[in-house]
Structure 1
Amino acid sequence: MPQRSRPVTLLSVGHACVDVYQGSVAALVPFFVTERAFSYAAASGLVLAASLLSSVVQPLFGAITDRWALPWLLPVSTLAGGVGVALCGVTDHYALTLAVIAISGIGVAAYHPEAARVARIASRGSHTSMGWFSLGGNLGFAAAPLLVSAVVATWGLTASPLLVIPALAGTLLCIAALRSMNKPTAPREHAHQSVLGRDDWSSFAWLSGAIVCRSIVFVSLSAFVALYAHQRIGGGNIVGAAALFVLYLGGAIGTVTGSKLADRFGRLRVVRWSYALTVLAVAGVVFVPGPALLLFIALSSAGLYVPFSLHITLGQDYLPRHVGTASGVTLGLTVSIGGLVSPLVGTIADTTSLQTALAPLIVLPALGWLMLRSLREPVRPEDTAVRKAGKPR
């Protein structure tokens, strides 16, 4: 592969290996319900354990990487994310299961801000390259239910140590990506470009609010769509795994589509369209019975994932002086805040039904759309640098 694209490619594949462990927790929920007799609330608590510390740790690591480059964090955090999930099935104790899944969540949280910072340097601010980096993570999400089903459905939860394999591969890919970059630990040219812009904290706050709405919808669907599809369609855990796969795979397609649409129509316009589509798609998930449910899961996935990489670059461009912080918040909120709410959804499902618990999700994308209405397209530091470089002296 060309030397310029090699680091982005390696980072993208490594991102897939890491995000397997974000998708694995939700994919494991049906097995904890059937094999360990966990309630909906207890099972969704595992999603919470993977996300709770991320809501604090990920922005913290982002702030740290604004001050110091920490490339060694990529392989270390990748390994931690995999080891936590690998150990989740070897104990019957709920508290220990929560603990090791929390370790995985911390590892995943530590990975993303530094990975996004390094990917932005390697991509030189390209929307398309950042889209491919995000796609890697989405493919990891998509592969998670297939990997979990292949291992756990065959040998049970006690075979979970086999799930460490993607982490081992991802660790090697992170090391290779860093070595393929000329100066991965001292991106001073990029840092100089970043200070050309001013931080727009107000716009970043509204963007973050919209991401929170998107997060709650996505994580809640991830945690319960497998069980919900089984109820509405039948077919056991296989149908549930298929529904989760559709949710994640549609996201992979949506991410690539989003970066291409943004080049043509602008990022904010595409993001707003996506939130509007998600309102209708989630309504279909909640109310449409039978196999057609899978179509609306796919549409929901597209609506939720088209803006995924655009959230990252918008956040970085709203905070050009704090790219690590922006990456930590935008990437962290997409999983962590939703994880905080998912036990509430599980509790409602325990006392009423899954359909009743999922119905409020319809409103959240509309609220996110309202938050995005007043935002303006930020001036990208790379574009400012190009314009200044082109001025006659």
Structure 2
Amino acid sequence: MLKVESAWKRMRYWVSAHVVCDFYQGLVPASIPFFVLERDYSYAAASGLALAATLGSSLPQPFLGILVDRRRLLWLAPAGLLIAGTGAGLAGSAPGYPLVWALLLISGVGVAAFHPAAGRDARRAAGGSAGAMSLFAAGGSIGFFLAPALITPALLAWGAEAGALFIPPAVLMAFVLWRHQQRRGVYPEIGAEALGRDRWSPFLLLTAVAVIRSVVGIGITTFLALYWIVQLDATPFLGGVALTAFLVGGVLGTLAGGRLADRIGMLPTIRIGCAAAVPVLIALRLVPDPEPAVAFAVLAGVAVNLPFAVVVKLGQDYLPARPGTAAGVTLGLAVSAGGLFVPLLGALADRHGPQAVLTVLCAVPLAALLPALLLPRPDPHPADLESPAAV
């Protein structure tokens, strides 16, 4: 009898690597309040740091996605992870704003290199299971969650320079992933599993949903701690707790979304997440006390991230011949593109305070509902018909 590996055993290297890679994306918003407090950066300047990481991680994504659909490039994901960690870790020690900005840009390029290659190979490991892909997607959410939880105490103790203490995990995980890729290097020829037709129109609708979801997620992660500190008169530590709570909810929402999609379908799961985010964000904005509001930060993380893993898998189902491109867009470009709107939110915060940003973000998920309602069912993928028992 054929023994079927569990979802975790199939996905463990990719989940772990995604945790480490996106830890450095989470390090940026976790560090921003300390740049504001220590170096007197304006909200707009602080938002520019988020923009630097976003530009690096978003602009190369389409080209890298096309490349990994044509070449194996088994070294690309480990190399991207190493660059992401080194750039983000050194940024806090840089002496001036231009160098900080450049290092975060370089870190973003590393993130851009990781996601298309990792998403392509994780898809192969996951088969047709949305639950298994949710483990991979949740790895990124866990990385975001761990960043403020681990780095905030270090930043409180040693300042922004403490980011350099977190470079070694990138070096170690890059080596482990590279060794794994060498052992598992007998992948099918690129294009061998390109069965089915690419459907670009629904994929573009799905990308719009992903970008709007990203605007909400990145906006909250950038300004939530500042909202706690400035508007709710909380300590920087409690602001870090609130951000961590939102990211914990993100992990739970990502995992729940994959499970839910395996039971009721991918399209209903995406639509539920878009609709549920609005009332939860309104509640988060209206609660006046910082301690009880932490609970709503968790719920907001769940609602905003419920569609995340589903969007990644559905994107690859819409583009079965281009899994690297689909992963690069849904995991990388669409998520990072949300950060392009952060400077606008920063300008709003400079004029009216971070509470105005939270108010605006309450309505943004409504914009994702229309494209979500227009999404058609994907064509069956061979991996979905012979999916490993997993979850």
Is the TM value for this pair above 0.5?
A: yes
Q: Is the 8 A contact 2:208 2:368 kept in 1?
A: yes
| Residue of structure 1 in register with 2:50 after alignment | 47
Write the mapping of 1:206-225 to structure 2, written as runs, cut at 5 A: 206-225=205-224
Q: Which amino acid aligns with 2:350?
A: D
Q: Is the 8 A contact 1:193 1:385 kept in 2?
A: no
Residue number among 64, 74, 91 corresponding to 1:61 in the alignment: 64
Q: Which amino acid aligns with 1:305?
A: N
Deviation at 1:334?
4.2
Q: Is the 8 A contact 1:7 1:181 kept in 2?
A: no
Task: Give distance in 1, aligned partners of 2:53 and 2:39.
Answer: 18
| Residue of structure 1 in register with 2:232 after alignment | 233
> Structure 1 unaligned runs (5+)?
388-393
Task: Give distance in 1, aligned partners of 2:16 and 2:255.
Answer: 15
SS class of match (1:142): helix
Deviation at 1:153?
1.4
| Residue of structure 2 in register with 1:166 after alignment | 169
Write the mapping of 1:1-393 to structure 2, written as runs, cut at 5 A: 6-181=9-184, 183=186, 186-188=187-189, 191-195=191-195, 197-290=196-289, 291-382=291-382
Task: Give distance in 1, aligned partners of 2:340 and 2:181.
Answer: 33
Deviation at 1:51?
0.3
Q: Deviations over 1:122-147 (max 9, x none)?
A: 22232222111111111111000022
Percent identical across equivalent pairs?
38
Inter-CA distance 182–124: structure 2 relative to 1 (3 Å threshold): farther
| Residue of structure 2 in register with 1:391 after alignment | none
Q: Which amino acid aligns with 2:220?
A: L
Task: Give distance in 1, aligned partners of 2:46 and 2:22.
Answer: 20
Task: Give distance in 2, aligned partners of 1:110 and 1:10.
Answer: 17
Inter-CA distance 288–11: structure 2 relative to 1 (3 Å threshold): same
Q: Which amino acid aligns with 2:313?
A: T
Inter-CA distance 213–131: structure 2 relative to 1 (3 Å threshold): same
Q: Which amino acid aligns with 2:33?
A: P
Q: TM-score, normalised by structure 2?
A: 0.93
Q: Which amino acid aligns with 2:295?
A: L
Inter-CA distance 198–81: structure 2 relative to 1 (3 Å threshold): same
Deviation at 1:151?
2.0
Q: Is the 8 A contact 1:11 1:173 kept in 2?
A: no
Deviation at 1:206?
0.7
Q: Is the 8 A contact 2:19 2:140 kept in 1?
A: yes
Task: Give distance in 2, aligned partners of 1:253 and 1:313.
Answer: 18
Deviation at 1:326?
0.9
Deviation at 1:287?
2.5
Task: Give distance in 2, aligned partners of 1:375 and 1:159.
Answer: 45
Task: Give distance in 1, aligned partners of 2:377 and 2:5.
Answer: 32
Task: Give distance in 2, aligned partners of 1:281 and 1:229.
Answer: 17
Deviation at 1:180?
4.4
Task: Give distance in 1, aligned partners of 2:14 and 2:383.
Answer: 24
Task: Give distance in 1, aligned partners of 2:28 and 2:78.
Answer: 21
Q: Is the 8 A contact 1:19 1:141 kept in 2?
A: yes
Deviation at 1:49?
0.3
Cα RMSD (Å): 2.0
Deviation at 1:182?
5.5
| Residue of structure 2 in register with 1:390 after alignment | none
Structure 1 range deviating more: 285-294 or 29-38: 285-294
Q: Deviations over 1:366-390 (max 9, x none)?
A: 1101111121220232257659xxx
SS class of match (2:288): coil
Q: Deviations over 1:59-109 (max 9, x none)?
A: 211111111111101111111001101111212210000000111011011
Structure 1 range deviating more: 140-149 or 117-126: 117-126
SS class of match (2:364): helix
Q: TM-score, normalised by structure 1?
A: 0.93
The total of aligned residue pairs comes to 383
Task: Give distance in 2, aligned partners of 1:171 and 1:100.
Answer: 19
Structure 1 stretches of at least 4 aligned residues deviating more than 4 Å after TM superposition: 2-5, 383-387
Q: Which amino acid aligns with 2:89?
A: A
> Structure 2 unaligned runs (5+)?
none
Deviation at 1:255?
1.2
Q: Deviations over 1:178-234 (max 9, x none)?
A: 244261xx323x843332x11111101111111111011100101000011223433
